[in-house]
Amino acid sequence: MLEKGGCFITILLFCWYFCTCNFLIARMETISPTTTQVSTIRVAWVDTLKFLGILTIYVGHFKHTAGKLDEFVFIFHVPLFFFIAGFFVKPSTKTFLQIIIQKSKQLLVPYLFFFCLYTLYIAIYYNVSFQRVLGMLADFCLGIRNTLPANSLWFFTCLFIVTLLHAGIQKITPHKRHHLVIAVVLHILIQVLPQHNPSQQPSWIWNIDSALYYYIYYIVGSMIFPWLNSSSTTQSKASKISMWLLFVGCLFIAIILYINGRDASTLWLIDYVGTHPSLTQIIVNAGKLFNAFILFFILIKIAKIMSPIPFLGKLGQETLVFCGTENLFKIAVMHFFNLISVKLPLYGAVSTLIYSLLLLICSYFILGKPLNKFVPALIGKIK
């Protein structure tokens, strides 16, 4: 009886979510383009959102040390950055070759630079053999997520593939609804056809399989950013009420996911409809998207509230640096504490969260500012 009640609540939450989103999308289409023009001008809440995202990335990479927060952040932290990457996408008149060159400067040059920094430090500190360095170089050329020596670098090649994929699709059709259909089809096929999980165990060079999986977040981000960025002063009273109802509902679901685990929103439904493998897989995959977008919305509301704090935005502007130097900086800090015989007591979500925040702040001053000042082109900062 309790399981059926839980299933009923889950179905109601799904219905509430999609009905509310449909209403908001309808309202979004009435927003004046002049008030929501997509540009490359910095948006404060987006930078703050990037900060929140990279903070959860750092927390998640501490694994079980973070307690329940570890599993919770893995629901959304990687998809969030592909979602944000789609915000400022706009039609381009450049040739495909020009786009490749531009994205190579923004993503592949930093990929190479950060790999060289990491390899140099590891080679000197551990006195690594030349053969081992060559092996690291081979892994770097393949760029596969779980085989990279500095595995956080996988994001650079994956995002590079996503942007080229989108540029190619844009050349075929300029309509965003067509892009969404293509993204949905690719998202489904990449989970059905290969024998591996593209989101956890990618196996294709430069994480092409992961790129096909995450492309849907990129597209949705590009579609709904004008609405997300619209000023509250231009929204009707009904839209504001809907936004707060959506936020409260999302917050309720987030609490359930944190307490009961990332599959809490789908387990009851699976128990109710049966355990047929195909149907179960569809529900699980739909649940992953559902959960991610729920948490996106909460983080966006939090980012807008925190956006008046300039320093958080400055941290958010350096997410590529934080991503590229994460493994290097964490190892260097660990070596420093070992040198002075200090052991860090990281137990649970709060201590891991505080330590991750301190790492980001230190990395900003020790690495971020000098790299921006002296070698901006090597970290993707091109005009």
Q: What is the pLDDT of residues 249-300, one digit of tens each?
A: 899 989 988 988 877 666 655 565 555 566 676 777 888 898 999 999 999 9
Helices (H), 309-348: 310-316, 319-339
Q: What is the pLDDT of residues 179-210, one digit of tens each?
A: 999 999 999 899 888 888 888 889 999 999 99
Cα angle, residue 246 at apex, residues 28 and 20 outer, rounded to 5°? 55
Specify the pLDDT at position 131.
Answer: 93
From the centroid of its chain, how far is CA 320?
12
Amino acid identity, position 84: I
- C-alpha 104/C-alpha 52 separation (Å) is 26
Mean pLDDT of 75-79: 95
* Sequence-distant (≥ 6) Cβ neighbours of residue 91 within 8 angstroms: 170, 174
Q: What is the pLDDT of residues 298-338, one digit of tens each?
A: 999 999 999 999 999 999 999 999 999 999 999 999 999 99
- C-alpha 87/C-alpha 30 separation (Å) is 19
* Cβ–Cβ < 8 Å for 216, 186: yes
Domain ranges (residues) in the chain:
43-77+252-383, 88-228
